[in-house]
Structure 1
Amino acid sequence: MYAKCGELLDSRKVFDEMPERNIVSWNALFSSYVQNDCCAEAISLLQKMIFSGLLPNEFSLSSILNACTGSTNYGQGRKVHGYLIKLGHYSDSFSANALLDMYAKLGDLEAAKTVFDEIRQPDIVSWNAIISGCVLQEDHDWALRLFAEMKMLGTIPDMFTLSSILKSCAEMGMKELSMQIHSDLIKRDIGSDFFVGVSLVDVYSKCDLIEDARKVFDTLPKRDVIAWNAMISAYSQSGNDGEALSVFVAMQKEGLGFDQTTLSAVLKSTASLQTDIVTRQVHVLIVKSGFQSDDYIVNSLVDSYGKCKLLMEARRYFEEHPSRNVVPFTSMITTFTQHGEGEEALKLFLKMLDMRVTLDGFVYSSLLNTCTTLSAYEQGKQIHVHILKSGFISGFTGNALVNMYGKCGSIEDAHCAFSELPERGVVAWSAMIGGLAQHGCGKEALDMFNKMLNDGVSPNHITLLNVLCACNHAGLVTEAKRVFESMELLFGIKPLQEHYACMIDLLGRAGKLNEATELVRKMPFEADASVWGALLGASRIHGDLELGKYAADKLIVLEPEKSVTHTLLANIYAASGNWGGVLEVRRLMKDSKVKKEPAMSWIEVRDAVHTFMAGDRSHNRTEEIYAKLDELSDLLSKSGYVPRVDVDLHDVDRSMKEELLSHHSEKLAVAFGLIATAPGAPIRVKKNLRVCIDCHTAIKFISEIASREIIVRDIYRYHHFKNGSCSCGDYW
């Protein structure tokens, strides 16, 4: 009585005052400790009983097995298993079920299956124990097979069984079975059971049956925090973020509290919607409820602030709540990278190493994406070493490695990383094809695409976009047309805006302007900025002023703040000698307060990134850099290089144009690379805009003069300059 009323001390006092204690007394005491979650103490009492001269019976051992389960004491559970066999209680149904439950919940599924197989007539408790154990250990196939066997043998599943099976259905995406279970519940007039109802909400949401999930939710007899969380998560996971926030508001009106799960789901939706006001309001709730130091809340809030473009708030909150958990660090690194603060992300990685934070595949993947954004090849290699040491070279980390090497200028390393992947899914193949595309290896990319199809891997829209880009960079018009026209027929993928934009760019750059404009007309949707940008770029290459003006007018309406449109139009005017047109474009930019994005180039030397702008003299080795440029100028002239002054938009004389061209950012970066790296070492430069024609010509000559491979990544692709030629074949 005392035990069941929660008065454990009084229960023990009565036991201690008993003049004689038989097996019934001890069993009552065991039960009292287990019922009050004092499982470790219950286990120690078993030894005292045995020392007193009494041997446990089947009821004693069942209670102690429950205690072993509650205290996760697997070793003691194995000993009790031995007692059951030794004392002849192994065939007792209560003991067998307790043993089965212990093994299942403590992770030894094989032992649980063995115990279950030895039960002659398993009852509903036995079935529930083994099925819930399979679900707990994520062996959903086995759980579903057991469920089918259970029904075949005539055992009627109860609410616990169905709740467990619905969890497996949710993980396996088994829509039909879930709906069948729901229908059976309604027929049995027990469709409103709370736990089953919550499981149905979960499975329907994961099967994209959100309306069905909501119907079940609305019919629940009671709705606690778990039920509300299931509905909020259902909307959040399905992309119905507005509905997720509405349900959260309704939950608060009901006067219910919330927990970490609620807040994490809500913050996921605020991040997707990029609603900074709601994110701040949720932050206030977090502080009021005392969850601000929870690692997963820190992670969710940092992620939401980051996606709402509130970098300072994300950083401040992260720093105010230090943690040794890798999850918040991963979110902060991702946020830095998304906001162009890749160097800060890499500094945070070093801090993690100093703090001895246990790293995982997710943070390594984020760091590799950071290196990709920075084009930081050397740092990417170092992170690769850390990945190899920690054993995370698989799955998405391997995919990120392929992507990083491809986009950091080493297609050879990308290919090595790709070949070492134990399994290659569509992401890995797409990354490899994309890397080949950026390096201008069009035919190799097509070969890789064919190998992918031969391996039985179906492409997605990103794969096909990468294939089209590969054809674009290599001028493979016929091959691109074949892929584009067969997308829906062969792969069931309708071309999106980006696929059309790539084809229009390819046709335009190949001089097929009429075909390009005709494709714009045939598009099944309104052309976006990428399409008009492709036409404008083609107009600049082929000097079509009329088409260029038309495309520029469309772009200025869609993206009035973008300076690149005005710059390309000014280039078209300048190429035709129409300086009045150039002045008019500049006047329009001034009136519209559009600022031209400055050309910038980066080069990584000894783990440091050096940035240059045109005419830059801020570097601490400026004198050496300009001296190297002067030296190169003489050698270039002797080699036959003639400056392309037609690409300069300044209305000044030729000598001034030549001087301005000689101090472009990519030339400064290359000159620094020549003086700061070992002789013969490759020079890797990144530029934020398209490499200019004059710099492209000059760097070809420099690669031969200096006997260096110079790798330049611009906004569109990689250029590998070697022995006086470029991998693009002057087609970019």
Structure 2
Amino acid sequence: MTMRQPIPATRRLSLLLGPNVVAEKLWLEFFSDPSQWWDHSIEKVSSRYPDFKHKKTQKALWILDKRNPPWVDAKLAAMAPGTVQLSIFSWNAILAKYVKAGQYEKTMELFHQLQQKGIVLNRSSFVPVLKACANLFALEEGKKIHSQVVESGCESDVYVGSTLVHMYAKCGSIEDARNVFDRMPTRDVVTWNAMIRGYAKCGQGWEALKLFRQMQDEAMQPDSVTFMGLLNACASVAALDEGKYVHKQIIEGGLEGDVFLGSSLVDMYAKCGSIKDAWSVFNKMHTRDVVAWSALILGYLKCGQGQKALEIYQQMQHEAVQPDTITFIGVINACASVMALEEGRRVHEQIKQCGSECNIFVASSLVDMYAKCGSIEDAWKLFNSMATHDVVSWNAMILGFVKCGKAQKALDLFREMQREGVQPVAVTFIGVLNACSDLRALEEGRRIHTQVVQSGCESDSFVSNSLVDMYSKCGSIEDAQRVFEMMPTHDVVSWNAMILGYVRCGKGRRALELYQQMQSEGVDPDHVTFVRVVNACASIMALNEGRRIHEQIVQNGFESDVIVGNSLVDMYAKCGNMETAQSVFQRMPTHNVFAWNAMILGYFKCGQGKIALEVYQQMQQEGVQPDSVTFVGVLNACASVMALEEGRRIHERIIQSGCESDAFVRKSLKDMYAKCGSIHNVHKLSNRMPK
């Protein structure tokens, strides 16, 4: 292969200018003496007049003309400032270059300088500066420029109008965008796209879809940008059927192979909860960018399939697709959802290698993941290493401390957060109210309630439910009732909190009345409701009400729920109906220690201590580990039937399990030995008991 020889400078000049020898000579004169070449005696500078022209040929030339050869641009750039007065054409070109380079502040500065110089602006001046306002979210500045656009008579220009619509929509003023849109005499596809995407961005997806139908009625042909806006609109309002219609339009338009539309389709189906369709589109894509992978990962996460999201991430790595911050946030949240601590640590290492750990959203997600996975030390270490903290990272640490039983630390962190000037949100209040519940810190809870009211978060149903729960757990059922009554609507969680509050304060009858009121208001009970009303029946020995609620439990399909089953066994046992308790117990798919305890204590209470011991033996045969409540029950059973040897064997088991230090167990041991006549063991235990 022959190497190409470099073209001489004079030959390159000839190629650029053509065979005209005269023209070539004139250009060469410019290099020898520019002052002899141009004439800048032009009085009026506008887009119709050049920056300068050749004295001999009167050839027009603009400083920033795309037709200029590169070497001409270089020579002009080297001229001393102020040598040439620029035309509006060149000023507009500079404005456009600033915007294209992302130098939005510089664009605005130059625009203001042009105004101060009194240069008459045109449509090509307004377009770049409006784009700069959009990217700076400078709504007020954009409105001032809009007034100048109107004065100049450029508002009717379709290009200027489209840019105004885009600016208003991006700045969040969708009403102003629509006003401009409606006044435009003609609209191109760019205008429609700006309006559709504006509605989608502002969360008004249905308006975007309505506008698309109007666009079709006016016979305007959509393009790929239109469809991307529509898919975002469908995703924002979970409009699956409309999304499928848009998908059909994309196929009919022959645009299904567009990688950006493919990614948007995956995102739309995932956000609409149709993960099967998302996966189908993803599999058909010839090329998949990081947006498509991230959308699929987040889709599986949203559908509660965290493990599948991690598998998709592993496949993405296998195909050597570089993750971005959105990917990392999705994968970290997936690790948190399935408590995959080790996988989360590996992802953290990858984040460090990519240099994304300094991203505040990624770092906050990592703090949340470590906290949810129970590694509060790692969460705290990372939290302290962060340069700045947003409300998400504060919330992650507060909720993490509450979850791991460090409620006081959560409250201390809440105070520190406020000292640093970070405003709490609804999630923050839920965390600290739960901390108050755990600590039974009523006065602290009341102070936080005041802050909730001041912040306007009291209308949030989750915060109100947390307030009801906090007051009821702290024993202030009157405050709980007041909060409950001020709530505009009550969901099942708020009813459950109130019912539990009355059960805890020994007002089982009131709890059952509340349950009846809940049903009359058309709120369907869940398994938590049934557990609490069954406990209410147990607390007041309301066997008949318990039977009626049992029937409702069967009708709603909750009898197989282990916790509901435990509550039923306990209720029937406490009401003295051991036959039904035994029947429910036998129908349960699995038995945990709570169910066994209910049976043992029930038989003991009914004076059938021997059967209680038989149940205990059966429990051991099934490999269920007893707890302190079990030991109290079987020791009382031993005492009731004078089973000293069985009591001694149980005592040995208590020592092995480490429960001997429990005050109730020790008291039951003393009672058992005393009733069985073993005074020596009673004295022995008394001597070992702490003062």
**Into which bin does the TM-score normalised by the smaller protein fall?**
0.7 to 0.9
Residue 432 of structure 1 deviates from its aligned partner by: 1.6
Cα distance in 2 for partners of 1:659, 1:143 equals 82
Q: 1:84 aligns with which of 136, 149, 163?
A: 149
2:220 is paired with a residue of what secondary structure? coil
Cα distance in 2 for partners of 1:655, 1:434 equals 45
Specify whether residues 377 and 598 from structure 1 end up closer, same or farther in structure 2 by C-alpha distance, changes over 3 A only: farther
Residues 489-527 of structure 1, C-alpha deviations (whole Å, 9 max, x = no match): 5x687762222222221111111111111123344x344
Residue 437 (str. 1) matches residue 503 (str. 2): yes
Q: 1:349 aligns with which of 411, 414, 417?
A: 414
Residue 410 (str. 1) matches residue 476 (str. 2): yes
Give 2:491's aligned residue.
425
Q: Is residue 670–residue 685 contact of structure 2 (8 Å, CA) maintained in 1?
A: no
State how 1:351-500 maps to structure 2 within 5 Å. Answer: 351-395=416-460, 396-487=462-553, 489=555, 496-500=561-565
Residue 596 (str. 1) matches residue 662 (str. 2): no
Of all paired residues, the percent bearing the same amino acid is: 29
Q: Is residue 197–residue 233 contact of structure 2 (8 Å, CA) maintained in 1?
A: no
TM-score (norm 1): 0.76
Structure 2: gaps of 5 or more residues: 1-63
Residue 223 (str. 1) matches residue 223 (str. 2): no
Give 2:258's aligned residue.
193
Residues 372-399 of structure 1, C-alpha deviations (whole Å, 9 max, x = no match): 1222223222322332333322312111
Residues 242-273 of structure 1, C-alpha deviations (whole Å, 9 max, x = no match): 22222222222233332332222222222232
Supply the AA of the counterpart residue of 2:535: C
Higher Rg of the two aligned structures = 2
Give 1:532's aligned residue.
596
Residue 541 (str. 1) matches residue 608 (str. 2): no
Give 1:552's aligned residue.
616
Q: Is residue 564–residue 596 contact of structure 1 (8 Å, CA) maintained in 2?
A: no
TM-score (norm 2): 0.81
Residues 634-664 of structure 1, C-alpha deviations (whole Å, 9 max, x = no match): xxxxxxxxxx989845658889979999x99
Residue 281 (str. 1) matches residue 346 (str. 2): yes
RMSD: 3.6
Supply the AA of the counterpart residue of 2:551: E
Residue 261 (str. 1) matches residue 344 (str. 2): no
Specify whether residues 487 and 272 from structure 1 end up closer, same or farther in structure 2 by C-alpha distance, changes over 3 A only: same
Specify whether residues 217 and 145 from structure 1 end up closer, same or farther in structure 2 by C-alpha distance, changes over 3 A only: same
Residues 534-579 of structure 1, C-alpha deviations (whole Å, 9 max, x = no match): 3233234334335434543565445427444344323322343323
| Count of aligned positions | 621
Cα distance in 2 for partners of 1:101, 1:11 equals 38
Specify whether residues 441 and 285 from structure 1 end up closer, same or farther in structure 2 by C-alpha distance, changes over 3 A only: same
Supply the AA of the counterpart residue of 2:598: A
Q: Is residue 134–residue 142 contact of structure 1 (8 Å, CA) maintained in 2?
A: yes
Residue 614 of structure 1 deviates from its aligned partner by: 11
Q: 1:312 aligns with which of 353, 365, 377?
A: 377
Q: Is residue 2–residue 10 contact of structure 1 (8 Å, CA) maintained in 2?
A: no
Cα distance in 2 for partners of 1:162, 1:527 equals 55
Specify whether residues 45 and 351 from structure 1 end up closer, same or farther in structure 2 by C-alpha distance, changes over 3 A only: closer
Residues 690-728 of structure 1, C-alpha deviations (whole Å, 9 max, x = no match): xxxxxxxxxxxxxxxxxxxxxxxxxxxxxxxxxxxxxxx
Q: Is residue 3–residue 32 contact of structure 1 (8 Å, CA) maintained in 2?
A: no
Q: Which has the higher contact order (CA 8 A, sep 6+)?
A: 1
Cα distance in 2 for partners of 1:220, 1:214 equals 10
Q: Is residue 368–residue 379 contact of structure 2 (8 Å, CA) maintained in 1?
A: yes
Give 2:317's aligned residue.
252
Give 2:584's aligned residue.
519
Q: Is residue 604–residue 637 contact of structure 2 (8 Å, CA) maintained in 1?
A: yes
Q: Is residue 270–residue 304 contact of structure 1 (8 Å, CA) maintained in 2?
A: yes
Give 2:34's aligned residue.
none
2:405 is paired with a residue of what secondary structure? coil
Cα distance in 2 for partners of 1:254, 1:282 equals 17
Structure 1: gaps of 5 or more residues: 601-612, 616-643, 669-732
1:531 is paired with a residue of what secondary structure? helix
Q: 2:231 aligns with which of 158, 163, 166?
A: 166
Specify whether residues 348 and 43 from structure 1 end up closer, same or farther in structure 2 by C-alpha distance, changes over 3 A only: closer
Specify whether residues 277 and 157 from structure 1 end up closer, same or farther in structure 2 by C-alpha distance, changes over 3 A only: same
Residue 477 of structure 1 deviates from its aligned partner by: 2.6
Residue 128 (str. 1) matches residue 219 (str. 2): no
Give 1:505's aligned residue.
570
Residues 107-138 of structure 1, C-alpha deviations (whole Å, 9 max, x = no match): 11111122222234433222221221122121
1:393 is paired with a residue of what secondary structure? helix
Q: Is residue 528–residue 558 contact of structure 1 (8 Å, CA) maintained in 2?
A: no
Residues 176-229 of structure 1, C-alpha deviations (whole Å, 9 max, x = no match): 222232233233332232232222222322333223222222222332222221
Between 1:193-202 and 1:227-236, the stretch displaced more is 193-202
Specify whether residues 50 and 348 from structure 1 end up closer, same or farther in structure 2 by C-alpha distance, changes over 3 A only: closer
Specify whether residues 435 and 160 from structure 1 end up closer, same or farther in structure 2 by C-alpha distance, changes over 3 A only: farther
